[in-house]
């Protein structure tokens, strides 16, 4: 699937990274109505209420995943010895970094699945959330015609950078990255401190790639939400006619 250069340029020129997903038009609509539903101002058992609640929950789960990934990146940076307020010994740092790198590698694919489900819910496709969801979404003629699958490419690009290591974790339950392994074995194998420090800095430097990925994905999701506003309104019209 080729990216639309015009949309890609627009995404790269506008930085939405600090923007809440709920400040988009679609986000504002579903959040307001969801609040009214929770407060009992609107009945919660109508087709419209159920649809609005489902879309709201999808956007909230994506927003939460972005927050979790942001936090994971920050926690990786905390392993830097320059951060004096965060006390950690050399014995701790290897396992600490291993845990948070694994955490990041598992969260990125989850974010992609949540975006796929957002399309599923907004268009009321009623696909089951299973391993075949991406195939069904990407082969849907409506989504293809509207060129919304462009945004999945951004997740595929980000995922391709971490997929080999992620697969190792998922299938072997272990992390085989040599540099990180050397950091975790430092307590039992006291090699040169300068080498340890160099490896530590190199491992933390990966956060540059993670942050770059995060910015691209956040911008792509915001742009997708902006485009989904009209579709939400169309679906609400259809629901109102039934």
Q: What is the mean pLDDT of residues 41-51?
A: 95
For 106, what's the count of Cα atoms within 13 Å in the CB-facing half-sphere? 15
19-37: per-residue pLDDT in tens? 789 999 999 999 999 999 9
112 and 152 Cβ atoms separated by less than 8 Å: yes
Spell 163-189 as b/e; 16+ CB within 10 A means b: eebbeebeeeeebebeebebbbebeee
Tokens of 5: 């250069």
Sign of CA dihedral 196, 201, 202, 204: positive
d(Cα 138, Cα 233) in Å, to the nearest integer?
Answer: 22
- What is the reported pTM? 0.83
175-202: per-residue pLDDT in tens? 556 777 788 887 777 778 888 889 899 8
Using CA atoms, how far residue 168 sits from 52, 94, 181, in Å, is 39, 18, 14
Q: What is the mean pLDDT of residues 157-176?
A: 64
């Amino acid at each position: 699937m080729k990216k639309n250069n015009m949309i890609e340029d627009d995404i790269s020129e506008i930085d939405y990274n600090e923007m809440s997903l709920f400040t988009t038009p679609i986000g504002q609509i579903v959040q307001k109505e969801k609040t009214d539903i929770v407060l009992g101002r609107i009945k919660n058992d109508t087709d419209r209420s159920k649809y609005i609640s489902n879309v709201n929950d999808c956007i909230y789960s994506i927003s939460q995943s972005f927050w979790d990934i942001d936090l994971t990146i920050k926690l990786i940076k905390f392993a830097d010895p320059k951060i004096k307020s965060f006390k950690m010994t050399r014995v701790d740092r290897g396992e600490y970094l291993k845990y948070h790198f694994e955490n990041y590698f598992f969260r990125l694919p989850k974010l992609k699945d949540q975006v796929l489900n957002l399309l599923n819910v907004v268009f009321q496709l009623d696909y089951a959330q299973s391993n075949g969801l991406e195939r069904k979404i990407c082969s849907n003629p409506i989504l293809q015609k509207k060129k919304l699958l462009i945004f999945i490419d951004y997740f595929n690009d980000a995922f391709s950078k971490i997929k080999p290591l992620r697969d190792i974790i998922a299938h072997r339950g272990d992390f085989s990255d040599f540099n990180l392994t050397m950091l975790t074995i430092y307590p039992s194998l006291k090699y040169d401190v300068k080498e340890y420090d160099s490896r530590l800095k190199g491992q933390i430097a990966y956060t540059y790639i993670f942050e770059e990925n995060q910015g691209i994905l956040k911008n792509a999701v915001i742009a997708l939400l902006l485009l989904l506003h009209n579709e939400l309104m169309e679906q609400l019209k259809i629901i109102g006619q039934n």
